[in-house]
A and B are shown apart, each in its own frame.
Chain A
Amino acid sequence: MKKAIIRIFLVGVAISLIGCSVKPASDVQGSDEDLSDPQESFSGVCERASYEFGNTESGHFHQIFDTRKYFDQVFMGIKRSDNANYIKYMSGVMARGDIIQNIDHVYSDFAGLWNVHDLDVSEEKASCILISDYSESGVAIVELHLVDRDGKIKVTNWYDHITESYASDQLRQFSIDIKTLSESGNEISQEMKSLQDFVRLTGHPKPLEVSQAYSKLDKAYRAKEAYALAYVVTANRAGGEQYLAALDNLDAHFSQTGKYGLLLMDYYVLKGRYDDALASIDRAEERIGANVIFDIFRMGVYQLTEDNKKYYQSAVEALEKNIGVEDVYWSLLDTFVQYEQYADAVLVLDVIKDFFGYQITQRDIAGIPEYQFFAESREFSDWLN
């Protein structure tokens, strides 16, 4: 049996583009042959990007990524510096090669089927929203920005709808700050060191050290959203307590405008702020468009608030959109068992067994403390036989 308790943490956070490569170079040496189709349409490239994001072994996303344009956006308005220290600090912490390799694997935690949710083409530009399959890692929602340059379609940047930031934002903030520091003669200051330490950690997060590194940042940096987000992203990879601390920080200082609702939704749920969580889902759905993922989010909240009618209604909405979303059935099983609706629980088991192919035994069910009574029920017994 796969799982019986729906996760509390619902949304997923992609790895950061700051820092060193998350995979050794040998793992990401795909063919550099340009595989783009000269006749490819915007929708075709979006489909291809969704495949590359979902297929973590592929490593060819960089072929449709416009690195030059991306770095133009990172360094837009930042004059080139001949300050040797700036170049040294920048390249030491964020080598271009590492960043490009990271790009291929930035959503590596979200392997599986990605869907093109929305496409908006305007002349030589387009954007499309890709949504990952709902998985153990949660869900990723990414809006790609594409451009047709001389007949070739390339991704120039993307907007992560979970962190509500562009892929280039954190790098850009970091390069601005490094430049300011290096040009002010403070490059060997504690300020610089703490900044570098923090950025290095985003590449290789270590439990217990992330919060410490963030707290050592100068107050001026901690007042910037880019570092608060980098903190959340890094802490998410480091572990639960660290992650909660990062969300505390984000909520306290950056959530007043209603931003970061999706990112903070888990946090709101944990804190019992269910109305905030539901409002965050509504806002995100309005921004992104209806998707089964939002129905699943609502199910999670209504399950906790024990608002069963709304919970079932959300389940119906989810199944109307996609009857094959496995998590909905596991959640329903939990709920029916919790409320001792055993006749309904066995209907769910029918689907889990026949539709998804799970073999369910007496021992599986009896092994879960919350399922003890159900395991002993007549309905389950009849179902087994």
Chain B
Amino acid sequence: MAAKKWAAYFWVLICLLCFSSVASAKRPDFSDRGLYLGEAVPGWVQRQSYDSRESPRQGYSSQYLLVDSQINLVAEEAFYYRNVGRIVNPSGLTEWSEINIRYSPEYQKVHLHSLDVIREGERLSRLDKAKVRILQQEDDMESGLYYGMNTAVVILDDLRAGDIVSYEVTVLGSNPIFNGHEFGSVSLDWRVPVEKRSLRLVSDPAKPLYYRFMNSTADFNRKETVHGLEYDLVLTDIDGVLAEEDLPYGFSPYAWLAYSQFHDWGHVNQWAIDLYRIDYDGKQIKSVAEKIMGRSSDRNDFIRNALFFVQDDIRYLGLEMGVNSHLPHSPDEVLRRRFGDCKDKTALFVSLLEQQGIKAYPALVSTANRHGVSEDLPSPGSFDHVITYLEVDGKGYWLDPTNSYQGGSLDSIAQSDYGYALVVRDGTKSLTRMFPEGSPADRIRVKETFTADDFSGEVTYRIVTRYTGKNADYQRYRFSNNPLSEISRQYLSFYKGYYDSVSAINNPEFRDDRQNNVVTVEEEYRVDDFWHREDGMVIMDVNALIYADYLKDLASVDRKSPYYQGAPLLVDSIIDFHLPEDVSLNFPKPTGQVSHKAIQFNYRDSYKDKVYSYASSMELIEPVVRNADMESYKKALNDIIHNWNFTIRFADPERVPGYREALALKQRLKELAK
């Protein structure tokens, strides 16, 4: 489902921070492509001033003097915006040399009203000289999504440091799929500072408009004018915002305004029900459903097989033009052409289940915002994906026909937790928490075995990793879509980060128990330079490398935002070192536990019959670490990291007098103890 309504203003506003045009003898005509140059600014627009005397801020190559957005929701939706910026230094020239205006030619027109360069106080219109190209760029083509969007690219030349660039655009029209109900969001701050940000909404007094300022204490002035009910605000001296890494889903450090003409989630549900009320000729669907049932042992097995059919046999491809951004194609058509996007696949899956009397429903979710959807103003724009919800014997399942390479029975198929979903069915009034008891945790078990013939030569390093849940799905996908040689190269590259002299003995071996959704990967390496020596001691590194993928050292990070550490996960790790002869080990990690509300780590080591064994387990409990818990979390991580990555020292049997005698005596004692 393509939630990219034309008024995905975030995009426009972020892209506006780059720009401009070039010479041509005659003003070009792009009206057949929906782009009009030089049209007058609409009468309802109130042009905003800016202060060019503002001093540029240190460290920025350009200065954003004005970002003005005005949205008219009264008749045909119109989004006017004006951006004014000063080029401070040569880096700013690059930044402002190109303007991108993205629109859907299916239902939108674009007016580029003005394009000016103000140089030493003199305003020079560049509209007539604009070098304009209209591109059909598909940003998500690699993901199999085609939106049919146009991008008008306007190139400016002869820009100089000190120039001020100003341009005004109005985008007219909205996607008819929303039946005239408008919604959108508008940014209030950005990565760069802005001297003045003005915002104005004009709405029909007869049509309620809901709005919410997010991460901001700003509010509108409201008044009724000849244009309608007007909401406006002006913000000045806005600082730039730096977004940290690893932000949780649904968390944004930026401020924005959300508005919507949908009054609640029930209203959104009503809109969505109509989309999924599809007439189709059930003949083909019935035939396929019967075939699937024929090879299924029972109802649950049928659900699983129908899901895998839609996942594996229907290619993922989304043609999202116009109303098909949200309207699914008929299941017949999807079945015939054997491709579809998430909503097409869901509609087909639901119809297949229907053939066996199993009631299932589309469920709208946000893969980007997840739990954050619950804070949204209700609108279709909250969602970017659709999955399927069904209940069997009173138990709910969230199944995703868009997924691929899944395994397991109905009860063990990995279900993603997107936080909240809007289950599209009669009576839905609110969002549904997908997993109120907490997300299902995946499990990884890894057994690493080092075997050595002596304390100086090579060591054989064998790793057996067992994946379940989404991790099994991922490994199944990975091994199905990448040459073994490439996977082998990637694995080896990872181990080289820890063992300089590691080399592969065999390619990784992949075993798939798809029925139980368990994937096992076996690897075997040789480490030539495993042992180190210092002061008569042998030193060996103990690295439970499985944790390297999941734990970041945040000790030196002064973090302001909450932290996303990853989905709930259980990891069990055992590392066995089969030593060539008996040694004396002082247990460096006898037993221990690090507990935090977000993470738990346990470890224990032992030594018996020449095998040193280090067993540990980690549970990622809460995906998100809140700011208030950050310091204690960093400490816990520090303690954990010290316990999956350490060295063991023991006396070198070759160099310690009496050492072998002690070992011989121990052997004698074992005989005496019998």
Q: Residues on A close to B: CB < 8 A?
A: 39, 41-44, 115, 117-124, 126, 128, 148, 151, 153, 289-291, 308-310, 312-313, 315-316, 319-324, 329, 332, 344, 347-348, 350-351, 353-356
| Assembled-state Cα–Cα distance A329/B590 (Å) | 23
| Complex contact B639–A347 (CB within 8 A) | no
Partner of A118, one of B555, B590, B659: B590
| Assembled-state Cα–Cα distance A310/B672 (Å) | 10
| Complex contact B586–A39 (CB within 8 A) | no
Query: Looking across the interface, which residue of chain A has its beta carbon closest to that of B586?
Result: A322
Using known A-B contacts A43-B643, A124-B632, A320-B608, determine if residue A119 contacts B592 with beta carbons closer than 8 Å. Answer: yes
CB-defined contacts of B632 to chain A, threshold 8 Å: 123-124, 148
| Complex contact A347–B595 (CB within 8 A) | no
Is B627 in the interface zone, CB < 8 Å from A? no
| Complex contact B592–A355 (CB within 8 A) | no
| Complex contact A323–B662 (CB within 8 A) | yes
| Complex contact A119–B639 (CB within 8 A) | yes
Distance in Å: Cβ of B537 to nearest Cβ of chain A: 12
| Assembled-state Cα–Cα distance A337/B398 (Å) | 74
| Assembled-state Cα–Cα distance A315/B670 (Å) | 9
Distance in Å: Cβ of B435 to nearest Cβ of chain A: 25
| Complex contact A312–B672 (CB within 8 A) | yes
| Assembled-state Cα–Cα distance A128/B658 (Å) | 34
Distance in Å: Cβ of A7 to nearest Cβ of chain B: 21
| Complex contact A119–B594 (CB within 8 A) | yes
| Complex contact B595–A322 (CB within 8 A) | no
CB-defined contacts of B556 to chain A, threshold 8 Å: 39
CB-defined contacts of A121 to chain B, threshold 8 Å: 592-596, 635-636, 639
Within 8 A of A (CB), among B621-656: 629, 631-632, 635-636, 638-639, 642-643, 651, 656
| Assembled-state Cα–Cα distance A255/B153 (Å) | 88
CB-defined contacts of B665 to chain A, threshold 8 Å: 329, 332, 347-348, 350-351
Is B585 in the interface zone, CB < 8 Å from A? yes
Partner of B670, one of A124, A316, A332, A350: A316
Partner of A321, one of B587, B658, B672: B587
| Complex contact A43–B639 (CB within 8 A) | yes
CB-defined contacts of A348 to chain B, threshold 8 Å: 665
| Complex contact A347–B668 (CB within 8 A) | yes
Complex A-B, nearest 6 residue pairs according to Cβ-Cβ distance, in ascending order = A354-B658, A355-B658, A323-B584, A119-B592, A312-B673, A121-B594
Most chain A CB inside 10 Å of its own CB: which residue of B663, B664, B668: B668
| Complex contact A122–B596 (CB within 8 A) | yes
Sample (7) of A-B pairs whose CB atoms are under 8 Å apart? A120-B594, A120-B595, A122-B594, A312-B672, A344-B672, A354-B658, A355-B659
| Assembled-state Cα–Cα distance A319/B590 (Å) | 15
CB-defined contacts of B279 to chain A, threshold 8 Å: none
CB-defined contacts of B666 to chain A, threshold 8 Å: 316, 319-320, 323
CB-defined contacts of A310 to chain B, threshold 8 Å: 673
| Complex contact A289–B595 (CB within 8 A) | no
CB-defined contacts of B593 to chain A, threshold 8 Å: 119-122
| Complex contact A321–B607 (CB within 8 A) | yes
Query: Looking across the interface, which residue of chain A has its beta carbon closest to that of B556?
Result: A39
| Assembled-state Cα–Cα distance A354/B651 (Å) | 14
| Complex contact A315–B639 (CB within 8 A) | no
CB-defined contacts of B496 to chain A, threshold 8 Å: none
CB-defined contacts of A350 to chain B, threshold 8 Å: 658, 661, 665
CB-defined contacts of B631 to chain A, threshold 8 Å: 148, 151
Query: Looking across the interface, which residue of chain A has its beta carbon closest to that of B670?
Result: A316
| Complex contact A42–B669 (CB within 8 A) | no
Distance in Å: Cβ of A153 to nearest Cβ of chain B: 8
| Complex contact A347–B664 (CB within 8 A) | yes
| Assembled-state Cα–Cα distance A218/B607 (Å) | 52
Other 19 A-B pairs with CB < 8 A, given A41-B638, A42-B635, A122-B595? A41-B635, A115-B586, A119-B639, A121-B595, A121-B639, A148-B635, A153-B635, A289-B591, A316-B670, A320-B607, A320-B666, A321-B587, A323-B663, A324-B584, A324-B586, A348-B665, A350-B665, A355-B659, A356-B658
Is B291 in the interface zone, CB < 8 Å from A? no
Query: Looking across the interface, which residue of chain A has its beta carbon closest to that of B663?
Result: A323
Query: Looking across the interface, which residue of chain B has its beta carbon closest to that of A113?
Result: B586
Using known A-B contacts A43-B643, A323-B666, determine if residue A120 contacts B592 with beta carbons closer than 8 Å. Answer: yes
CB-defined contacts of A355 to chain B, threshold 8 Å: 656-659, 661-662
CB-defined contacts of A44 to chain B, threshold 8 Å: 642
| Assembled-state Cα–Cα distance A353/B662 (Å) | 11
How large, as a class, is the contact surface on chain B?
A: 35 or more
| Assembled-state Cα–Cα distance A119/B592 (Å) | 4
Partner of A43, one of B582, B642, B668: B642
| Complex contact B635–A118 (CB within 8 A) | no
CB-defined contacts of A322 to chain B, threshold 8 Å: 584-586
CB-defined contacts of B670 to chain A, threshold 8 Å: 312, 316
| Complex contact A309–B608 (CB within 8 A) | no
Is B133 in the interface zone, CB < 8 Å from A? no
Distance in Å: Cβ of B161 to nearest Cβ of chain A: 44
CB-defined contacts of B582 to chain A, threshold 8 Å: 323
| Assembled-state Cα–Cα distance A320/B629 (Å) | 41
Distance in Å: Cβ of A365 to nearest Cβ of chain B: 18
CB-defined contacts of A117 to chain B, threshold 8 Å: 590-591
| Assembled-state Cα–Cα distance A69/B657 (Å) | 49
CB-defined contacts of A347 to chain B, threshold 8 Å: 661, 664-665, 668
Distance in Å: Cβ of A321 to nearest Cβ of chain B: 7
Most chain B CB inside 10 Å of its own CB: which residue of A44, A123, A126, A354: A123
Is B597 in the interface zone, CB < 8 Å from A? yes
Distance in Å: Cβ of B504 to nearest Cβ of chain A: 34
| Complex contact A289–B590 (CB within 8 A) | yes
CB-defined contacts of A42 to chain B, threshold 8 Å: 594, 635, 639
| Complex contact A39–B661 (CB within 8 A) | no
| Assembled-state Cα–Cα distance A315/B668 (Å) | 11
| Assembled-state Cα–Cα distance A354/B663 (Å) | 13
| Assembled-state Cα–Cα distance A44/B642 (Å) | 9
Partner of B668, one of A124, A324, A344: A344
CB-defined contacts of A289 to chain B, threshold 8 Å: 590-591
CB-defined contacts of A118 to chain B, threshold 8 Å: 590-592
| Assembled-state Cα–Cα distance A126/B636 (Å) | 10
CB-defined contacts of B661 to chain A, threshold 8 Å: 347, 350-351, 354-355
Most chain A CB inside 10 Å of its own CB: which residue of B587, B593, B659, B665: B665
CB-defined contacts of A332 to chain B, threshold 8 Å: 665, 669
Query: Looking across the interface, which residue of chain A has its beta carbon closest to that of B642?
Result: A43
Distance in Å: Cβ of B296 to nearest Cβ of chain A: 48
Query: Looking across the interface, which residue of chain B has its beta carbon closest to that of A118?
Result: B591
Partner of A123, one of B595, B643, B662: B595
Using known A-B contacts A115-B586, A121-B593, determine if residue A354 contacts B608 with beta carbons closer than 8 Å. Answer: no
Partner of A309, one of B638, B657, B673: B673
Query: Looking across the interface, which residue of chain A has its beta carbon closest to that of B638?
Result: A41
CB-defined contacts of A43 to chain B, threshold 8 Å: 592, 639, 642-643
| Assembled-state Cα–Cα distance A4/B203 (Å) | 99
| Assembled-state Cα–Cα distance A162/B636 (Å) | 29
Query: Looking across the interface, which residue of chain A has its beta carbon closest to that of B637?
Result: A41
CB-defined contacts of B642 to chain A, threshold 8 Å: 41, 43-44
| Assembled-state Cα–Cα distance A117/B555 (Å) | 25
Query: Looking across the interface, which residue of chain A has its beta carbon closest to that of B672?
Result: A312
Distance in Å: Cβ of A10 to nearest Cβ of chain B: 20
CB-defined contacts of B555 to chain A, threshold 8 Å: 39
Most chain B CB inside 10 Å of its own CB: which residue of A290, A291, A310, A316: A316
Distance in Å: Cβ of B276 to nearest Cβ of chain A: 46
Distance in Å: Cβ of A128 to nearest Cβ of chain B: 8
Query: Looking across the interface, which residue of chain A has its beta carbon closest to that of B659?
Result: A355
| Assembled-state Cα–Cα distance A39/B664 (Å) | 45
Query: Looking across the interface, which residue of chain A has its beta carbon closest to that of B555?
Result: A39
CB-defined contacts of B672 to chain A, threshold 8 Å: 308-309, 312, 344
Query: Looking across the interface, which residue of chain A has its beta carbon closest to that of B665?
Result: A347
Distance in Å: Cβ of A123 to nearest Cβ of chain B: 5
| Assembled-state Cα–Cα distance A119/B642 (Å) | 12
Partner of B638, one of A39, A115, A120, A316: A39
Most chain B CB inside 10 Å of its own CB: which residue of A153, A310, A323: A323
